[in-house]
Amino acid sequence: MAAKVSFPITNDDEANAFLVDDPLALVLGMLLDQQVPMEWAFRAPFTLSQRLGDRFTAPAIA
């Protein structure tokens, strides 16, 4: 049985899990990390996904 990968970079377990499960979220977090504090940058994709729902895709965001 493989161990679950974690990426504990925010203070939010759901946001951390989202970064592991969705490659787009991780890329967006890395892009935002250049402009804002790291914890905010990597939590932002999770917040955006909650607001967009099933429209959290690269074309929908663009």
CA distance 9 to 18: 11
Could you tell me what percent of the chain has a pLDDT over 90?
Answer: 71
Confidence of residue 3 (pLDDT cuts 50, 70, 90): low
**Residue 6, pLDDT score:** 75
pLDDT tens digits for range 5-62? 777 888 899 999 999 999 999 999 999 998 999 999 999 999 999 999 889 999 988 8
How many domains would you assign to the chain?
1
Residue 4 domain-assigned (yes or no): no
Helix or strand or coil: residue 35? coil
Residue 40 lies in a domain: yes
In this prediction, residues 1-6 reach a mean pLDDT of 67
Tell me, what amino acid is at 21? D
Q: State how far the Cα of 19 lies from the Cα of 8, in Å rounded to an integer.
A: 9
Which residues contact residue 23 at a Cβ distance below 8 angstroms, ignoring those fewer than 6 apart? none
Residue 62 CA to residue 53 CA, distance in Å, equals: 15
Q: Assess if residue 7 is contained within a domain.
A: no
Its domain, for residue 17, covers: 13-61
pLDDT of residue 1: 59
